[in-house]
Amino acid sequence: MISEDMDGEPRWIHPDVTLTRVPYTRANGKIVRRDKIDVPDSFGAGVLCLIDRNGSYPSACSAVPLAPNKLLHTGPLDAFDKTQAGICLIDIPKWTRRDMPHPLGRLVGRPDEHGRVWVTTPHIKQLERLAREGHLDGAPHIHDSWTGKANESLFKPFYEATRKARAELVEAGGEPYKAYKTRLSIALRLLWPKRAEQKSPFWRPDWRMSMVAEASVRHWTTAFKPVQAGHVLIGLRNVDQSIFWPPPGTPPGTYWIGTAFGEVKRRFIESGEIILEGDD
């Protein structure tokens, strides 16, 4: 029932702009492919404002709803029980806005024969909130479920430890910081290893996908605020990159600039420039 698509990552580009993958040569001579976005003149004068969130995954661990014990089959539910966490089978809600991606991200691309998808608790909570705010016609109908008693602080010690380590290492930079990022990724992946030979003390795909879904939901929600305030969102990528099209000198003001978890890095490029990535 659980798949990698359950993360709900947006991977979205505005339908009126053009994204192409173009070759780019790194300093070491290696040729890779990177994004290039061309914004039509109808969008008016502006620049691409690239916003990258720091530590999206470990930050999500600060309060991700999880069931510490095994999931039990709780079947169809009249309403979502906030004391429970797990996975639910729901209809894909209708989303007609063109200025924001669907709240379920890439989940909507793989429905079953009845147009339903399995989602984790973070997305159920997000859909219920959007329904209360009038952005959806109603709360999701839950056709089936596997749940357990919810705990939102299970990963908080991990979050606190990684936040403290980042604060110490981000200033030093170099190899110690790169090693920290690598170890962090390995620790989170061990919840659901890709290779059978990777030994893990736990095997909890529901924890893994709930954590990534929580990061996706926070990423989407943070981008929705400036859109509601009138800013134009060009792209929402994975769980950490937002791309806006503001007039020069007027970027979205709802993000905090800094090096801590949840804060962002920001830079500006012209339409048609190659969008570089961290290893570049």
Q: What SS3 state is found at 207?
A: helix
Share of residues in the chain with pLDDT > 90 (%): 71
Q: What is the pLDDT of residue 202?
A: 78
Distance of CA 85 to the CA centre of its chain: 19
- The size of the chain, in residues, is 280
Q: Are strands 72-73 and 264-269 parallel, antiparallel or unpaired?
A: unpaired
Q: What is the pLDDT of residue 132?
A: 95
The encoded tokens of residue 79 equal: 């309403």
**CA separation for the pair 195, 197 (Å, rounded):** 5
**CA separation for the pair 189, 71 (Å, rounded):** 20
Beta-strand ranges (E) seen in 92-211 are 116-120, 142-149
Which stretch of DSSP H or E encloses residue 84?
Answer: strand 84-91
Answer whether 0.75 is exceeded by the pTM. Answer: yes
**CA separation for the pair 1, 147 (Å, rounded):** 13
CB 83 within 8 A of CB 150: yes
**CA separation for the pair 139, 93 (Å, rounded):** 9
Q: What is the pLDDT of residue 231?
A: 94
Strand order in the sheet with 264-269: 12-13, 233-237, 241-244, 48-53, 264-269
**CA separation for the pair 154, 86 (Å, rounded):** 14
Q: What is the pLDDT of residue 238?
A: 85
Which residue positions in the chain have pLDDT lower than 50?
none
Beta bridge partners of 233: 244
**CA separation for the pair 107, 4 (Å, rounded):** 9
pLDDT tens string 24-54: 999 899 999 999 999 999 999 999 999 999 8
Which CA distances in Å does 137 have to 14, 88, 102, 273? 23, 19, 14, 39
Q: What is the pLDDT of residue 111?
A: 92
